[in-house]
Amino acid sequence: KAGVTQTPRYLIKTRGQQVTLSCSPISGHRSVSWYQQTPGQGLQFLFEYFSETQRNKGNFPGRFSGRQFSNSRSEMNVSTLELGDSALYLCASSQTIMNTEAFFGQGTRLTVV
Amino acid sequence: QKEVEQNSGPLSVPEGAIASLNCTYSDRGSQSFFWYRQYSGKSPELIMFIYSNGDKEDGRFTAQLNKASQYVSLLIRDSQPSDSATYLCAGETSGSRLTFGEGTQLTVNP
């Protein structure tokens, strides 16, 4: 059974640009959550999607957005990139909502220069 | 107060010893708790979850939950150098999202 797949693995962008990250959950999993991980802040919750609906949102500015498609694949978008957006972005999938086991993808390492 | 707090590290134990990792949480409504292991440069890997008060054992790992004290712990018996990693405690907080602690870096010395 394939795990959670995130693409791309690495990304370098310039300040002011926008970026789209993709996440394909484990087959059969309908819940996808996104996290930002930085050395100083640890793992911070961005948002959670279930059945194409955003169920939960963390404390991030509106530049961070996401969506989920009917096949449960999810994308997150960051617009007007700032240097502080440099981080590891992790996607986690679970069968239903997040009180069941969540499995992480390998992450996308975003560097903003 | 942070929603999920872990004991400050780093923690260093000799090979074969018991490593004890601790976590407290502030949301009394939290029902589920998870322990993840993260090797340097890798993504978090789920190793244990616990929903009920008491102990839950899985091989060399034991998770303990005390809801009255709002305390979660992870014991690693017979620690191995391969257990050296950062351990993340996570609780299901309001809105059924996972809130993570800062992590405790564990080093097992041969």
A46-98 pLDDT, tens digit each: 999 999 999 889 999 999 999 999 999 999 999 999 999 999 999 999 887 65
Residues 6+ apart with CB under 8 A from B8: B104
Q: Does A99 touch chain B (CB under 8 A)?
A: yes
- Strand-pair category, A64-68 with A74-78: antiparallel
d(CA A57, CA A78): 14
Contact A43 B100 (CB under 8 A): yes
The SS3 call for residue A65 is strand
The predicted-structure confidence for B46-105, as pLDDT tens digits, reads as follows 999 998 899 999 999 999 999 999 999 999 999 999 999 999 999 987 666 788 999 999
Scan for tokens 């060399």, then name that residue.
Answer: B60
The distance of A80 to chain B (nearest Cα, Å) reads 26
Q: pLDDT tier at A112 (50, 70, 90 boundaries)?
A: very high
pLDDT digits 0-9 by tens, A10-51: 999 999 999 999 999 999 999 999 999 998 788 999 999 999
Averaged pLDDT of chain A:
93
B49 touches chain A (CB under 8 A): yes
